[in-house]
Structure 1
Amino acid sequence: MTLWLTRIVPDPRSRDARRDSAGAVDLHHRVMSLFPDHVADDEPRRRLGVLFRSESTPAGDQILLQSAREPDLDRLPAGYGRAATKPLTPLLEALRPGLHIRYRIAANPIRRPGRATRELYRLKAVVPLQGAAADDWWARQAQSSGLDLGTVHSSPLEAARGNRRSDQRPVKHDRVLFEGTAVITDADLLRTRVTDGIGKGKAYGCGLLSIAPHRGPQ
């Protein structure tokens, strides 16, 4: 299966781009609108392998969109911004055990305490993790993704928020950015996790694992 990576650089003068950047739900619908199978529920996202991440860079804001089908960039509104797509197949085919890589992921680290623990400490059913607890969560996820972590830099991000269009129920996924270096221990497992994404909140900008060969000092 071919994976595609699309980089969208929104034009801040575009009303549509400004609206999408303000809400995770609107951005979800925007990226899904680039595919002809788009409907309102979450199943097309899984079927099309859609994952995305919005991020700020020194050159400005951008949206990274990964998908199992090439998106139709002509579906973006006029003046939305610049966009380009490339296949990820060469990168994925080059993965091998022992290869040093750089990684980045905006994830939704959570814990689901048992009923007794929730009642004892008056916790919610889903507890977002921060600091060392979030780092431990990422270490477990990385190990189960075929990675041996080298360095980890984590920083909290603004939560992915919005209201579902179908029923106006609020959406909120706390996010932490993890980036650093690692060594591949299982290339097949890593390819699967890159394709499927990691953690919860995938429909709203969480879970896209970006990797690249690390050519710096080992």
Structure 2
Amino acid sequence: MTLWLTRLTPSPTSRLAQQELNGTHGTSLHRRVMSLFPDGIKDSARTHFGVLFRVEDTSSGSYLLLQSNLPPDPTGLPDGYGTLVSRPLDQLLDALTPGRTLRYRCTASPVRKPGATTRTLYQLPAVVDLHGEAADAWWHRQAGQAGLKPLTLHSQPAESVRDHQGPRTSAKERGNRVRHHRVRFDGTATIIDPDLLRTAIHNGIGRGKAYGCGLLSIAPAPDPA
């Protein structure tokens, strides 16, 4: 199955596009992304179309990276919202071989879920955000499960994404609060298992995938001397 990588560049004159890409309310951006794919899917449409996405912030503005197993339909965007450019990832994924060096990037939600006894003993929440060295250790575990051996790692906090689940019929009835702690991981790595890596790229890493977490991006890098 072909994977497609799409760059959505918002129009500088579209206030809606700027708000959705620069905000931290994940549901509105998720709905915008899913509006680019066909309706009528009984199960999770995000999973069905293999949708993962991430907002990239640069000095010249923000844009959206979107991965999917079907090219997104640009007619799903409001007039003047922005432009889409898609390309297949077949050539990149087919070239993955053991020992090859890659550059990687992933904005993920590093957390741990302590057991009931530990939560009670230390009065911990059900989900604990990981920071600093703990977040880096989490990434090393995830990378290993994705068939990678990290050579370098630079991590930096990213703003948490917040939203609500459920109906918003009134100010007092806003459903469950949703918050995903995020960290961006960048670096280089050696491929250990290409099949595990392809699976991780297809499925994403960690939680919060509907909120812009988990997209693993790779690119060729020079082999270390």
Query: TM-score, with normalisation over the residues of structure 1?
Result: 0.94
Instruction: State the secondary structure of the residue aligned to 1:207.
Output: coil
* d(CA) in 1 for partners of 2:10, 2:166: 23
Instruction: State the secondary structure of the residue aligned to 1:199.
Output: coil
Residue identity matched to 2:76: R
Residue identity matched to 2:5: L
Shift of 1:117: 0.8
Which residue of 2 is the match for residue 177 of structure 1?
Answer: 184
Offset from partner CA, 1:170-215 (integer Å, 9 cap, x none): 2210100000000000001100000000000001100000000003
Aligned-pair identity (%): 54
Structure 2: unaligned runs, 5 residues or longer: 169-173
Instruction: State the secondary structure of the residue aligned to 1:71.
Output: coil
* d(CA) in 2 for partners of 1:69, 1:207: 18
Residue identity matched to 1:137: W
Alignment counterpart, residue 197 of structure 1, candidates 195, 201, 204? 204
Which residue of 1 is the match for residue 124 of structure 2?
Answer: 123
* d(CA) in 1 for partners of 2:150, 2:187: 8
> Does residue 9 in structure 1 map to residue 3 in structure 2?
no
Instruction: State the secondary structure of the residue aligned to 1:28.
Output: helix
* d(CA) in 2 for partners of 1:38, 1:125: 34
* d(CA) in 1 for partners of 2:59, 2:89: 24
* d(CA) in 2 for partners of 1:109, 1:6: 25
Instruction: State the secondary structure of the residue aligned to 1:6.
Output: strand
Offset from partner CA, 1:35-54 (integer Å, 9 cap, x none): 01367x97110111000001
Tell me: CA distance 1:78–1:165, structure 2 relative to 1, closer, same or farther (3 Å). farther
> Does residue 25 in structure 1 map to residue 32 in structure 2?
no
* d(CA) in 1 for partners of 2:75, 2:142: 36
> Does residue 214 in structure 1 map to residue 221 in structure 2?
yes
Offset from partner CA, 1:138-170 (integer Å, 9 cap, x none): 000001100010000000000111223645332
Shift of 1:11: 2.2
* d(CA) in 2 for partners of 1:100, 1:58: 28
* d(CA) in 1 for partners of 2:19, 2:163: 11
* d(CA) in 1 for partners of 2:95, 2:185: 23
Residue identity matched to 1:109: P
* d(CA) in 2 for partners of 1:139, 1:3: 25
Please give the residue correspondences for 1:55-66 in structure 2 after superposition, counting only pairs within 5 Å: 55-66=56-67
Structure 1: unaligned runs, 5 residues or longer: none
Moved more, 23-32 or 166-175: 166-175
Offset from partner CA, 1:32-74 (integer Å, 9 cap, x none): 00001367x9711011100000120233211000001111012
Tell me: CA distance 1:42–1:209, structure 2 relative to 1, closer, same or farther (3 Å). farther
Please give the residue correspondences for 1:71-90 in structure 2 after superposition, counting only pairs within 5 Å: 71-90=72-91
* d(CA) in 1 for partners of 2:60, 2:100: 29
* d(CA) in 1 for partners of 2:206, 2:93: 20
